[in-house]
Structure 1
């Protein structure tokens, strides 16, 4: 996917956005109560499949914590949707999937 095809149609979602072990300074983008410890790209893909969202797995490392080996995912935006809405939707489903098994 070229940058021109990507711009405006997709948002980049990094697993670190949902990591409860990280502070906001190191990249967490959702509230602590919606975050989970050490989410993986595979878990995010499972969540996106359950939400029927189109996505593309990208290559790369999160700049603030480059030593983590989780890849980002480009998620297709719906008309008028904001990145924070997408992140909260993914976070709620990720939290539900992760902790539903333990309950």
Structure 2
């Protein structure tokens, strides 16, 4: 089955948050290998490998929490950018429609 990117990222984020791939896969009825793959892809996209390295080195937990917060903000920024692009596309389409109406009225 083909899943859209929003679904994959939502499931992957839940797997990250719960630290339980199996339970997340079961909850959404998805193969655990797929969830594991999506989780790795999302971690790579968000740069979470850096958080894991920090944890492995035993650095300050507060730094890790701040890094997670930054990653969450980056994710929200990407969503906002996507929504802005969609809005700009709609505005562009409306502008073209208005110009067509103006041309037809001026004839």
More helix by share: 2
More strand by share: 1
TM-score in terms of structure 2 length: 0.30
Query: Greater CA radius of gyration, 1 or 2?
Result: 2
